[in-house]
Structure 1
Amino acid sequence: MKIIKFLAVVLATVSLNAQNTKENSDQQKGYYITAIGNRVDGYYKTTDFLDAESLQFKKTETEPYTTLDVSTVTEYGIGTEFKFIKRTFQFDDTETSMKRLDTQSTPNWVTTTDFLNVLVEGEASLYSYRGKNGTKFFYNIKSKEEMPIEQLFYKRYRISQTSISENKVYLQQLLRDVRCEDQERSYFAKVKYDKKPLIRVFTQYNECIGQEYTAYNNSTGKNFELSITGYAGAHLTSFKVNSTEADSDAEGLLSPAVGVEFALVFPSEKWAFLGRVEFENLSGETEGNYERGFASSITDIYELDAQAINVQVGVRHNFARKDKSNFFVDGLVCASIPYGEIVKKTVVNTDGGNSFERPGETFDLQTSFCLNFGLGYTYQNKYGVALRYETGRNMFTNLPTTSTTSISRLGLNLRYTFY
């Protein structure tokens, strides 16, 4: 009980502090512009702003969030952190994975209408677009009225099974369109196809020609988020002792458990690192029978009386839905630290119907390891249920005995996420 009270106090303290922090950073002032040109100001729920489909918006601080219908939006932004504009543009839609590179150096142009992330806005503007084949960068020059937004073209391609080459047309584009008079040509030969060096090129160009510009930080979007969940459940635990003399029967025990789960959720909310600390109660017995010669049989009775602190770490995959419900699967490695013992009693049954009990043996238990798998569902990001299975634990590990335990669990947990 002291352990349960300690976990409750720690959980309540951490939850309160983190909840206050989260409430302060959960929303950001922003706007969007409709297809007919109307500007709507309000608040965005902090999220991965690169994913337009995940945007939650409200006009006032007190009203609830609703999903923004981006099909009716031509632009949205959050201060000087983010700005997105909807445009029709061409981009190279070839594979960027090293395993699936094609053998052509030329682009596979695809036309789409989507949101571009504005990185630098000025006489020379820089944009990015995140598609299924990675992030591409785009640009245009305001004074060149006939110039559309076009991709800074870069492509890796395979010239043999072991060799890869690069098409770096973007370096020629930069040299031609955003080079200051006093810049050496050699400078552009070293610019990497990445956000930071490209932003540097465009800000330097706008500064050197004396034009005002805005550089968007892209720094206040959703980062890794800590989630804390308390849970309690009952497990059908299979308790068995394997011995060189005779294996005992697998007996079913009902073992309760309570715990707390810490999840470090990725910005996409699809993956999370997990850490769980759990208190478990174990109590029950199992028997093994075998013959000894012609005149007697032996019954070994194993009585388990223990508690365990289970420390688990692993990963989870979420199948999040827009209605805030979520299915998930996860897998963890568990270190089970038991406090208690197994008492072995041996009863000798003679052929004449008599029996006597030998002096019992007491075994202290040692830390054991296993795997833990879960399948669950949460509603409104708060209430949930999970079905969990845990592989067998050998709590006789490192003891001078030829016996091993097999303690596996199948259980149902009820969950509540504090934040």
Structure 2
Amino acid sequence: MQKKLLVLFVTMLCARSYAQISFEKGYFIDESERKTECLIKNIDWKNNPSEFEYKLSQDGVSKVKTIKTTKEFGITGYSKFIRAHVNIDRSNDERISSLSTTRAPDFHKEELFLKVLIEGKASLYYYEGGNTKRYFFKREDQSEIQPLIFKKYITQNNKIGTNVGYKQQLWDALKCEEISRSTIERLDYTQSSLAKIFIKYNSCTSSEYISYKKGQN
């Protein structure tokens, strides 16, 4: 009896997981700036994708678009990704044995799909891939997306130090009466903390903005 219940539970769990992965209303923009309305397979990407699966109709043939031919794609009311050439530091901050002895980020230029978190006069982006979790930002008067600097490293005293350059970057970039130096100093390098300061800046400057959160727009 217990074995039958276990099999039934596993079957239901698999069916539920399968049902959650579905093609949902979305779009993509190609190299020629042409926007195509379509259905995109929503697999709730933990790691930022380099490609995605789509169909032009529910009964249509499933196809794949890659970062090489796509400038932007999104699932309506759920998520948005943009292609960008950015400097990224892939230093491993999670394992002490992997920490560098250099305080400065080890930047490399890469072409990535960045997840849009806040879009407005000042926009916030996110990238996750393996052990790399990095945030990026851009003001509307800037031409390039900039990495928000954060890096753990081993000091000369053999202790763990943290380069929190992102705080100075945001202090310089998000000038507003409602944002004080102490507010910036309290910022954590997390999605919730950074998103709040970008929302505050856009609100303070009377800028319309979109906050992309899981499951809602």
TM-score clears 0.5? yes
Mapped to 1, the partners of 2:89 and 2:17 lie a distance apart of 42
Q: Could you tell me whether the CA contact under 8 Å between 1:86 and 1:114 is conserved in 2?
A: yes
User: 2:58 maps to which residue?
Assistant: 61
**Pair 1:187-2:174 in alignment:** no
Identity score, percent = 27
Out of 29, 32, 42, the position equivalent to 2:28 is: 32
Q: Could you tell me whether the CA contact under 8 Å between 2:23 and 2:54 is conserved in 1?
A: no
- Correspondence 1:391-406 to 2 at 5 A: none
Mapped to 2, the partners of 1:194 and 1:217 lie a distance apart of 14
Stretches of structure 2 lacking an aligned partner (at least 5 in a row):
none
Stretches of structure 1 lacking an aligned partner (at least 5 in a row):
221-419
Out of 125, 149, 165, the position equivalent to 2:161 is: 165
Aligned pairs, number? 214
Mapped to 1, the partners of 2:20 and 2:59 lie a distance apart of 14
User: 1:93 maps to which residue?
Assistant: 90
Q: 1:168-199: CA deviations, max 9, x gaps? A: 11111111111421332111111001111000
Q: 1:155 to 1:62 in 2, by over 3 A?
A: same
User: 2:74 maps to which residue?
Assistant: 77
Q: 1:58 to 1:180 in 2, by over 3 A?
A: same
Q: Could you tell me whether the CA contact under 8 Å between 2:179 and 2:201 is conserved in 1?
A: no
Cα root mean square deviation, aligned: 2.8
Q: Could you tell me whether the CA contact under 8 Å between 1:116 and 1:127 is conserved in 2?
A: yes
Out of 101, 108, 111, the position equivalent to 1:110 is: 108
Q: 1:220-241: CA deviations, max 9, x gaps? A: 8xxxxxxxxxxxxxxxxxxxxx
Amino acid at match of 1:181: E
Q: 1:104 to 1:18 in 2, by over 3 A?
A: closer
**Pair 1:139-2:141 in alignment:** no
Q: Could you tell me whether the CA contact under 8 Å between 2:51 and 2:66 is conserved in 1?
A: no
Aligned-partner SS, 1:52:
coil
User: 2:128 maps to which residue?
Assistant: 130
Mapped to 2, the partners of 1:48 and 1:102 lie a distance apart of 32
Amino acid at match of 2:65: L
Mapped to 2, the partners of 1:20 and 1:101 lie a distance apart of 40
The CA deviation at 1:26 is 2.1
- Correspondence 1:17-416 to 2 at 5 A: 19=15, 22-23=18-19, 26-49=22-45, 50-53=47-50, 55-96=52-93, 97-142=95-140, 144-145=141-142, 147-160=143-156, 162-219=158-215
Name whichever structure is richer in strand by fraction: 1
Q: 1:139 to 1:21 in 2, by over 3 A?
A: closer
The CA deviation at 1:204 is 0.8
Q: State TM-score, norm by structure 2.
A: 0.86
Amino acid at match of 1:59: L
Q: 1:1-32: CA deviations, max 9, x gaps? A: xx59x828x73x98579748854762221111
Mapped to 2, the partners of 1:110 and 1:85 lie a distance apart of 19
Q: Which structure's relative contact order is higher, taking Cα pairs within 8 Å and 6+ residues apart?
A: 2
Mapped to 1, the partners of 2:98 and 2:15 lie a distance apart of 44
Q: 1:53 to 1:155 in 2, by over 3 A?
A: closer
The CA deviation at 1:131 is 3.6
The CA deviation at 1:36 is 1.2
The CA deviation at 1:95 is 3.0
Amino acid at match of 1:71: K
Q: 1:324-349: CA deviations, max 9, x gaps? A: xxxxxxxxxxxxxxxxxxxxxxxxxx
Q: Could you tell me whether the CA contact under 8 Å between 2:24 and 2:75 is conserved in 1?
A: yes
Mapped to 1, the partners of 2:115 and 2:17 lie a distance apart of 28
